[in-house]
Amino acid sequence: MTAAIVPFPASSADRLASANIIPMPAMPPRAVLRPIANARREYSFGEVSRLLSLAGEPRTQIGYLRDLAKQCGMPLPKNPRRYRGHLQAGPSMIGSKSRWCALEFDAWLDGQRTPPPGVGIAPSQGAAVGERPLPAAAPTRTNLLNRARLLAAGGR
């Protein structure tokens, strides 16, 4: 068996010294900037669904998002949806390719998320808007009052 001995190359410092090259001093580390997760500052349909913890079919999620836009003032997407050659307006703009402004959406999430009291409560058929409901029957009120007194006294 024969073997060949191969010399290792000289270190980089030895080569630089032999070539009369002065190495550059080490630069201090630059401040590492945290990359912006979304440079355009917008949320896609999937991200909005994830933020609101929506699950199920996309069609169901779209319906829920449209309800939130109608009832709770959720911001509308930046890009309109096109349906049968017409641009949609209002909550019907929301589709699977919608994109929301992240700043507006985050502000909405931080604010009130439910409709204000009384929204969506329509008066019953035939009742006027300012009309008061009928008072409870006197025997029912008396019965409830007697039960409350009995409970307060410790009886059953």
Q: What is the per-residue pLDDT for 119?
A: 40
Q: What is the per-residue pLDDT for 126?
A: 52
- 84's CB contacts (< 8 A; 6+ apart) are none
Q: What is the per-residue pLDDT for 99?
A: 92
- On the question of pLDDT at 78 being above 60, the answer is yes
With cut-offs at 50, 70 and 90, classify the pLDDT of residue 122.
Answer: very low
Cβ–Cβ under 8 Å, residues 97 and 45: yes
With cut-offs at 50, 70 and 90, classify the pLDDT of residue 121.
Answer: very low
Task: Please give the Cα distance from 136 to 116 (Å, whole number).
Answer: 27
Q: Which residue did the predictor score with more confidence, 36 or 102? A: 102
- On the question of pLDDT at 49 being above 80, the answer is yes
Q: How far is CA 42 from CA 32, 105, 128, 145, in A?
A: 24, 9, 45, 57
Roughly how many angstroms between the first and final C-alpha of the chain, as a whole number? Answer: 106
Mean pLDDT across 8-29: 63
The neighbour count for residue 11, using CB atoms within 10 Å, is 9
Q: Which residue did the predictor score with more confidence, 14 or 44? A: 44
- On the question of pLDDT at 4 being above 50, the answer is yes
**What are 135-156's pLDDT values in tens digits?**
656 777 788 888 888 888 886 6
What's 90's DSSP letter?
G
In terms of Cβ atoms closer than 10 Å to its own Cβ (0-12, 13-18, 19+), residue 68 is buried
| Entry pTM | 0.48
- Cα dihedral sign for 98, 103, 106, 108? negative
> DSSP characters for 18-70?
HTT-PPPPPPPPPPPPPPPS-TT-EEEHHHHHHHTT--S-HHHHHHHHHHHHH
